[in-house]
Amino acid sequence: MTDDQWLARRFDENRPRLEAVAFKMLGSSGEAEDAVQEAWFRLAASDAERIENLSGWLTTVVGRVCLDQLRRRKTRGEQPLPDHAAEPVPLPGAVAGTAPEADPESAALMADSVSLALLVVLETLEPAERLAFVLHDMFAVPFGDIAQIVDRTPAAARKLASRARARVRGAGEPTRRAVSRQRTVVEAFLAAAREGNFDALVSVLDPEVTLRTDAAHVGEIIRGAATIAGGAMTFAAMANTAQLVLVDDDRIGVVSAIPGTPTRLVVFTVDDGRITAMEGFTDADRIRALKMTLLDA
């Protein structure tokens, strides 16, 4: 057996798991096949003899490929190819000549726990949340490995999975109580911004908090409590005049407006008593497209 044949066989041993990971990440058998094929290309181009844990290495590569695809899909407002309306179909072999027919184990892994309802819920998650939930809860990948894929700390990766788990399983707090707790945190943020209190701002921000705006370049994210708190000192003017709103029934936002026209919206994600993400909107059409309810003062 040649080295190439040995490598192809080892890859084929991992293929059912990789296909299952990719399908649950992307919800499309065609895109899943492409992701697994890309993993094979990268493996073939690497120094395979130096890879200590081939299964973990391949899972990491497929995870990164899928995460990139989900982020592109999110940026472009795309939807996955609608080929999961029925039971998932098995994928063909990713390595030419190693799997002439679809592997029954692959079909079983892909079908397991992948109902249309679950895929629909997974589509509502942020890309990093979806990856953390799928890899950890469905495939027992350690948070340390997941953290490397999403470029976060293991603790932050754990929080991503926790948020996703609550949405998927409906295990969150009753909506009214959850919104009330979010509001308390956001109001503390606004009060600190109005006072120019840097330490108070940092105290309500998660160390790994992220800020994304629709005016930023694609993929540009501001990260870190100290960095965002420093920028939030200029948030005081908006904090003095803006109104609190409930966005899409589950998150607190702050909106500024001139008569009849919203001009700026910041939506907060709050977990465990701290702000973990902020998303800023300045495009009036995008703001109007969101469901917003004014909250009483």
Residue 128 lies in a domain: no
- pLDDT confidence of 14, banded at 50, 70, 90? very high
In the predicted structure, residue 67 carries a pLDDT above the cut 80: yes
- pLDDT confidence of 162, banded at 50, 70, 90? confident
Output the pLDDT for position 215. Answer: 59
C-alpha 39/C-alpha 37 separation (Å) is 5
Q: Which of 123, 143, 164 is the last residue of a domain?
A: 123
Nearest to 5 by CA among 92, 97, 91: 97
Q: Which of 123, 157, 192 is the last residue of a domain?
A: 123
Q: Give how many domains the chain has, as a whole number.
A: 2
- pLDDT confidence of 78, banded at 50, 70, 90? low
For residue 244, the cross-strand partners are 254
Task: Check whether residue 10 and residue 71 sit in a common domain.
Answer: yes
Output the pLDDT for position 57. Answer: 92
Residue 165 lies in a domain: no
C-alpha 287/C-alpha 282 separation (Å) is 7
Residue 144 lies in a domain: no
Residue 135 lies in a domain: no
Q: What is the pLDDT of residues 239-269, one digit of tens each?
A: 777 788 888 777 899 988 665 566 788 999 9
Rounded to the nearest integer, the mean pLDDT of the chain is: 79
Q: By residue range, what is the domain housing residue 278? A: 175-294
In the predicted structure, residue 284 carries a pLDDT above the cut 90: no
In the predicted structure, residue 116 carries a pLDDT above the cut 70: no
Q: What is the pLDDT of residues 170-222, one digit of tens each?
A: 644 556 778 888 999 999 999 998 888 999 999 999 998 988 887 554 446 78
Output the pLDDT for position 258. Answer: 61
Output the pLDDT for position 212. Answer: 85
Output the pLDDT for position 94. Answer: 36
User: CB atoms < 10 A from the CB of 118, how many?
Assistant: 14
Residue 62 lies in a domain: yes
Q: What is the pLDDT of residues 93-112, one digit of tens each?
A: 333 333 334 455 444 444 44
Nearest to 69 by CA among 110, 127, 120: 127
Q: Which two tokens stand for residue 210?
A: 């992220």
Average pLDDT over residues 56-68: 93
